[in-house]
A and B are shown apart, each in its own frame.
Chain A
Amino acid sequence: QITLKESGPSLVKPTQTLTLTCSFSGFSLYTSGVAVGWIRQPPGKALEWLALIYWDDDKRYNPSLKGRLIVAKDTSKDQVVLTVTNMDPVDTATYYCARYSGYSGSPFDHWGQGTLVTVSS
């Protein structure tokens, strides 16, 4: 059974750095072709892809966030960490991590429950 779960602060102040952890089970980032992605959803709005990290530590980022994202993995702990710098109220959203099920062109086939992050002073 594949599960993912996001954890981190529910409230951050403007200009602060957000760090979220995705803890997963049922698959491994030691496996060739596997990746974990981050997707966010502002309240009442659409999904927005943020980042993707592959089993071989290759990484991809949404350029619209202009270098504010860092994604890293701890394969031995089955965790992926997303860092978002210089948080702003427009970054208020539910943040999801999801498994990317194979090589390029694959779907996000399993999702975490999401964690709501509010940016407010």
Chain B
Amino acid sequence: SYVLTQPPSLSVAPGKTARITCGGTNIGGKNVHWYQQKPGQAPLLVISRDSDRPSGVPERFSGSNSGNTATLTITGVEAGDEADFYCQVWDAATDHQVFGGGTKLTVL
């Protein structure tokens, strides 16, 4: 089965740039989606299809995908961005959905 690998944690100072990675074999050929989950809340879609930003998501959130790594980038990190972030893809080989293990973003 297809596996997505994320770093368990990332710490960033306010105002700096956070880059959260999602690794998978030839992930560049798949559509990658990113979700933000704050404590006690349901996940929220923040990036779809590698780099599309849903309505209402700040422009500080962006995404890229190439080769074996997809990246969610948050510029000008704010305290309110502190959350768990998950990547997700559809694996065409099995026709199943796959989530990464999640990255906990801490704003210092």
Q: Please, which residues of chain B bring their CB within 8 A of the CB of A104?
A: 90, 92, 95
Asked if A46 and B95 make an inter-chain contact with CB atoms under 8 angstroms apart, the answer reads: no
Q: Please, which residues of chain B bring their CB within 8 A of the CB of A10?
A: none
Q: Please, which residues of chain B bring their CB within 8 A of the CB of A113?
A: 42
Closest residue on chain A to residue B41 by CB atoms: A113
Asked if A108 and B33 make an inter-chain contact with CB atoms under 8 angstroms apart, the answer reads: yes
Asked if A47 and B96 make an inter-chain contact with CB atoms under 8 angstroms apart, the answer reads: no
Q: What is the minimal beta-carbon distance from B104 to any residue of chain A, in angstroms?
A: 11
Asked if B97 and A37 make an inter-chain contact with CB atoms under 8 angstroms apart, the answer reads: yes
Supposing A105-B31, A105-B90, A108-B88 touch, asked if A60 and B96 sit within 8 A by C-beta, the answer is: yes
Q: What is the minimal beta-carbon distance from B75 to any residue of chain A, in angstroms?
A: 22
Quick check: is B101 within 8 A (CB to CB) of the other chain? yes
Q: What is the minimal beta-carbon distance from A97 to any residue of chain B, in angstroms?
A: 10
Count of chain B residues near A, Cβ 8 A: 27
Q: What is the minimal beta-carbon distance from A100 to any residue of chain B, in angstroms?
A: 8
Quick check: is A89 within 8 A (CB to CB) of the other chain? no
Max count, chain B CB within 10 A of own CB: residue among A47, A105, A107, A110: A107
The 9 closest A-B pairs by CB, nearest first: A107-B33, A49-B97, A111-B42, A105-B31, A107-B48, A47-B99, A46-B102, A105-B90, A46-B101
Given A63-B1, A105-B30, A107-B48, 12 new contacts (CB under 8 A) = A37-B97, A39-B43, A46-B99, A47-B43, A47-B88, A49-B98, A49-B99, A60-B95, A62-B96, A104-B95, A107-B88, A108-B35
What are 12 contact pairs spanning A and B, CB under 8 A? Answer: A37-B97, A39-B43, A46-B101, A47-B35, A47-B88, A49-B96, A49-B98, A96-B43, A104-B90, A106-B31, A107-B88, A109-B45
Q: List residues of B whose CB falls within 8 A of some A CB.
A: 1, 30-31, 33, 35, 37, 42-45, 48-49, 54, 86, 88-90, 92, 94-102
